[in-house]
Amino acid sequence: YKNFDFYKCHAEDIDKCIKEFSISDKELVIISIGSLQYVNQFFISDFFHKISKYNNMNLFLMEPVSLSFLKNDVKLSDNRAFTSFSHNYKKYSKNLITVEEKIITPYSINDKKHGDTAHYYLHLKS
C-alpha cells in the first residue's frame, strides 16, 4: 500500500519504535491479535501508558481471555496458562477512548478444554 508503512515491535518498546521511525505525528494504527496475552502485567501497563501519549492513534486488539477472570472483575491481570495472561484491557486503557468493546464467546461452556475461554475485542483511540 502506497500510504501505509508496517512495523513490528515488542509492546514494551512501542515508544522506541515510534521514535525510531519518526512516525509520532502520523496516524498510528496498532494491531494486536493474540500477542498481548503474552505480555506480563508490568509491561502491559507500561504499553498502555506509552500509547496514550500519542494523538491520532487507534489500537485494535483481539486477545484470548478467561471468562472466570472477567466475571470476578477483581484483578487487572492474572495467569491464564503457563506463559499467557488474562488482562482486563478496558481497565488498562483508562486514558483512551473506547470505540468498541466485545467479549466473544465462541465455545460452549461444556467444552472441557476451551469452555472458559473468550476473545476480548477492543478498539481504542486517543
At 41-66, the pLDDT tens digits run 999 999 999 999 999 999 999 999 99
Measured CA distances, 88 to 1, 82, 104 (Å): 33, 18, 14
Other Cβ atoms less than 10 A from the Cβ of 69: the count is: 20
Assess whether pLDDT exceeds 80 at residue 110.
Answer: yes
Length of the chain: 126
Give this prediction's pTM.
0.90
3-state DSSP: the chain helix, strand, coil percent, rounded to 5?
25, 30, 40
